[in-house]
Amino acid sequence: ADMEVNAIAKYMETKHCDGIKCPRLSFIRSTWCETAIACCIITNTILFGAEVQYQSSTLNIHTAAPFEAASHCFFAIFLIEVVIRILHDSNVFFATSINLAWNYFDL
C-alpha cells in the first residue's frame, strides 16, 4: 500500500496535479473548528456510554429515541466534516497529506 501511495504522490508531483481545491473551506483547519469537532467526538463517546448504561439497566435491546436522534446528528456532523475536508484538500487528502493515516481512519 505504501508503494501505491508513493507512486500516486510522485505522479501528482510530476504532473502538478493538485486537483480542485476550495479555499473558502479553509476554516476546517482552524483551531476553533478542530476544537469543535473534538468536543463533538467526546460528547458522542459519552452519549454512547450513557446509551449502553441505559440499555443495560432497562434490559432493552431497542435504542431510545433521544439516543437515536443524537446518533443521527453526530453522524451528520462527522459526515459534513469529512466532505468539507475532502473538498478543501482535494487529491492531497487521499495521497500526500501529512495526516494521511488519520484521513483514511476518518473514512
Dihedral (C-alpha) 61, 62, 64, 69: value to the nearest 10 degrees?
120
The segments of the chain whose pLDDT lies below 50 read 15-17
Per-residue pLDDT at 63: 83
List of residues 6+ apart from 88 with CB closer than 8 A: 21, 22, 23, 25, 26, 28, 29
Specify the pLDDT at position 30: 87
- The region that residue 19 occupies, defined by phi over 0 for left and psi between -120 and 50 for alpha, beta otherwise, is left
Alpha carbons within 13 A on the beta-carbon side of 33: 13
Query: What is the distance between the alpha carbons of residues 9 and 63, in angstroms, rounded to a whole number?
Result: 44
